[in-house]
Structure 1
Amino acid sequence: MTPAIVAALAAACSPLGLDRGELDELRAAEFALPAAAEEDRFLEDAVVCAGDRDPFFRDKIGYEGIAAILRRGGGSEKAVRTQTLAILDLIALPNEAVDPRYGKKRGGFRASFLPLYASEFLRRDRVGSFLNEEELARAARLAAEEIEGVRDFRGFDEEEGWRHHVAHASDLALQLVLNPGLQRAEHVALQAALLSQVHPGGEVFYRYGEPGRLARALLYSVFAEEWEEGYLESLFSPLVDNESFWADAYASQEGLARVHNTRSFLQTVMVLIDGQTDPRLVTLRDAAKEALRQIP
């Protein structure tokens, strides 16, 4: 890891050097800052908040502050570009490197929240286009790897707040598939990654809205391209076209989880598409309906 990354992982969450009370006041003021230079510094400082155990800093200051500034067009292009590349460098690290307690008690925050933070920077690129083609392709590749690499499936805790790694990684994918600069091969890779987490294996039962976040990103990707005949019809086949998947599905927790997660995802796809007339979405709806019929 570079010295800059090591420093970022070790720093405390204190954007602009403000304490908790001052940050709460800044949040109440919708993160309005008097100078562009302060917006730039906030964006740089706030990235470290992704790893804070306190949801106030991690969610209300880090994420909300980054989103507020970027969505109103704040921050210089140079600073936004620099921070986008920096956060992608963090996402490129293995989960355990960026977050040594990944999957463990009182851990898993930084790895789960960095994709959410990154989604706001990639949203800014989507509307402002400051990444070049190679950088955008790298972002898509890292997002696909991030989705496929999720192994901490915790959602919400009343004391510690959210982790929600699958959903946050899906949000990153969503901003990428909405980007008109994304190439077809990158859409295909992201679709495969999203489908890989429909049922992640084991006894994981999704209950925090994960199927909706996966489905939303997938549908926007489908809508972004034209597809050859047969592609959409078979998109969900890997989820259901294996009889061994369903052998004794109701006789184990793992089997029940597969039924629950796969059915929830396919039903969500159908609900999101309901009423749409675009031929691609109609085809995908029919594919979801057919796949549902194969679940015992």
Structure 2
Amino acid sequence: MMLDRVAGNAAAMEAVKAALAQGRLSHSVLLLGEEGAGAGFCARCLAADWLYPEGGAAAEAVVRGEGAECLSVRAENKSNTISVDQVRRVRREVYNTALSAKGRAVIFYAAHRMQAEAANALLKVLEEPPAGVLFLLTATTPAAVLPTIRSRCAAVQLSALPEEECAAFVERARARCKDAGFLSAVYGGRIGCVLRCIDDPSRRAVLDDALAAARCAAESDGYRLAALLAGYEKRKADALTLLDDLRAVCGAVVRGEQAAGLTAAQAAAAAREAGWAMGLLQANVNDKLVFSCLAARLCR
């Protein structure tokens, strides 16, 4: 089964596989886990096993996110939300087109990013689901999903791996990686975050900038930090990732990891400041002003 590829979370996976094998899997499943914990990968594996229990090339395609019978919905606009138009397109697709003998699966990635109107449109579908369609939703927490949607889904909670287990998995899966232990510590065992950092050079560059920002904070080098942050002006998504990575680095230091020359006290303070800046950026406060204040606060 493709679900056998999901690392960790053995009890949850056994329960899902049993429901699938016994034909009692809910038509709607909510996979819960913090960013990078593997909810999206698990959703694709479950979709593959539901559509193609015999496995094979078609199942592999679904796991890669390429299967024709598995529709994917992600936040795709400037506000990083799922719009009502996206949900309506899916509704038309599953109600108005002929299904193959295998059925169809629909994955809503980061369902907590749905606009209110989109969530209400999805609720109408889940209240009267079309036959032969499996709906899979991923979200960070149950509270982030509309309660009426949550009540119509079977919930599966996924946890990050223990850091040592995550590092061991990464070393097997990405033999070229030389710092699996460090990355696993920074991301707290969130294997998806670790793998993205290894596989995507642009993603690794953001982490490297977060480490550089942490060093600036440790050395009270406000000038260098301000110059680094200026490179993220007008790049809101990347800026939020940078600040989230800075918090992750600081969290690892607080838990005992050595990084960027930070003390635990410095790391705790820097994490608070990064969170403060993230809140302002998410509220659409001018990024140049936020970065100027952040550099001053981190290096005071």
Question: TM-score if structure 2 supplies the norm length?
Answer: 0.29
Larger helix proportion of the pair: 1
- Structure number with larger C-alpha Rg: 2
| Structure with greater contact order relative to length (CA < 8 Å, sep ≥ 6) | 2
Question: TM-score if structure 1 supplies the norm length?
Answer: 0.29
